[in-house]
């Protein structure tokens, strides 16, 4: 049975690119895997997929009875709604440890770095698997996105070294220019409904049984609000 590799709800580039990169690695080491997603790719993610010739992973919301490898979080609120009926076989992440639990031992790759794709690169190195050019490209873009081209306080030297390695593999000379191109796509908000902008990069958290939604617009601004129900079920004016 193939496992599903899936990032968080309202997926960002790290979740989508990480699912593709990790599913490829898992298949290479003889563990059948299918990349999937819990929502529509953002314009930035679509730009990355188009740039390197990838289709978006399969949209799949229900995982009951499936094996699941979680990417880019370890939170119940960001996982599929029926995650309790699935078997979590692994987690790759770079956030604080969340509240997902398992009944069986699992593989856990969690490091305090700027992006899950930096950790996935460590997994490729650990297994001695060569990263294909196009996959190196999307991993590089995910790291540039999460670290805001190295300007985020979460960026580490491991992320920078990782991007330099991936740029060589992908044959990208000026990766910072690619990063700027990507952020221009992300910043083009003309014609986008307010609701879509608020919900872009939005995450639910369970904080002491308070449901808290946090939206981060990376270098632009950061806001949070306390919610009465999960953000996915909230009605906002369009
Ligand atoms: Mn991330």
What burial letters (b/e) apply to 28-60, b meaning 16+ CB within 10 Å? beebebbbbbbbebbbbbebbbebbebebbeeb
The reply to whether 130 and 68 lie within a common domain is yes
Give the helix, strand, coil percentages of the chain, each rounded to 5: 40, 20, 40
The reply to whether 149 and 220 lie within a common domain is no
Q: For residues 114 and 161, is the Cβ–Cβ distance under 8 A?
A: no
Structural domain includes residue 70:
yes
Residue whose C-alpha is closest to residue 94's, from 146, 44, 45, 137: 146
Q: Quick check: pTM over 0.85?
A: yes
Residue whose C-alpha is closest to residue 45's, from 81, 7, 75: 7
pLDDT in tens, the chain (238 residues): 999 999 999 999 999 999 999 999 999 999 999 999 999 999 999 999 999 999 999 999 999 999 999 999 999 999 999 999 999 999 999 999 999 999 999 999 999 999 999 999 999 999 999 999 999 999 999 999 999 999 999 999 999 999 999 999 999 999 999 999 999 998 877 777 777 777 777 788 888 888 888 876 544 433 444 555 555 555 554 4
Structural domain includes residue 238:
no
Tokens of 191: 């014609």
Continuous segment of H or E residues that includes residue 36: strand 33-38
**Spacing, Cα 145 to ligand 1 middle (Å):** 9
Domain that holds residue 45: 3-186
The reply to whether 35 and 112 lie within a common domain is yes
Q: State the CB neighbour count (10 A cutoff) for residue 238.
A: 7
Q: How many domains, the chain?
A: 2
**Spacing, Cα 136 to ligand 1 middle (Å):** 16
Report residue 17: phi and psi, to 5°: -65, -35
The reply to whether 172 and 212 lie within a common domain is no
The reply to whether 182 and 199 lie within a common domain is no
CATH at residue 134: 3.90.1640.10
**Spacing, Cα 203 to ligand 1 middle (Å):** 12
**Spacing, Cα 43 to ligand 1 middle (Å):** 16
The reply to whether 22 and 125 lie within a common domain is yes
Q: How far apart are CA 32 and CA 57, in angstroms?
A: 15
Tokens of 164: 């330099």
The reply to whether 102 and 28 lie within a common domain is yes
């Amino acid at each position: 049975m193939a496992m599903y590799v899936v990032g968080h709800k309202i997926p960002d580039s790290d979740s989508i690119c990480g699912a593709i990169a990790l599913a490829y690695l898992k298949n290479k080491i003889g563990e059948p895997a299918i990349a999937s997603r819990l929502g529509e790719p953002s314009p930035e993610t679509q730009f990355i997929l188009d740039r390197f010739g990838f289709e978006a992973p399969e949209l799949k919301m229900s995982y009951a009875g499936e094996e699941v490898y979680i990417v880019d979080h370890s939170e119940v609120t960001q996982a599929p709604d029926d995650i309790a009926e699935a078997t979590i076989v692994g987690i790759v992440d770079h956030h604080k440890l969340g509240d997902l639990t398992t009944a069986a031992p699992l593989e856990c790759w969690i490091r305090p770095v700027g992006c899950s794709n930096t950790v996935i690169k460590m997994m490729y190195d650990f297994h001695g698997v060569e990263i294909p050019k196009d996959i190196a490209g999307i991993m590089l873009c995910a790291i540039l996105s999460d670290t805001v081209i190295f300007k985020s306080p979460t960026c580490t030297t491991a992320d920078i070294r990782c991007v330099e390695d991936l740029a060589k593999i992908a044959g990208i000379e000026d990766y910072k220019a690619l990063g700027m191109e990507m952020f221009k796509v992300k910043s083009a908000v003309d014609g986008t409904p307010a609701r879509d902008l608020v919900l872009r990069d939005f995450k639910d958290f369970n904080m002491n049984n308070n449901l808290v939604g946090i939206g981060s617009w990376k270098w632009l601004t950061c806001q949070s609000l306390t919610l009465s129900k999960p953000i996915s079920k909230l009605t906002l004016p369009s």
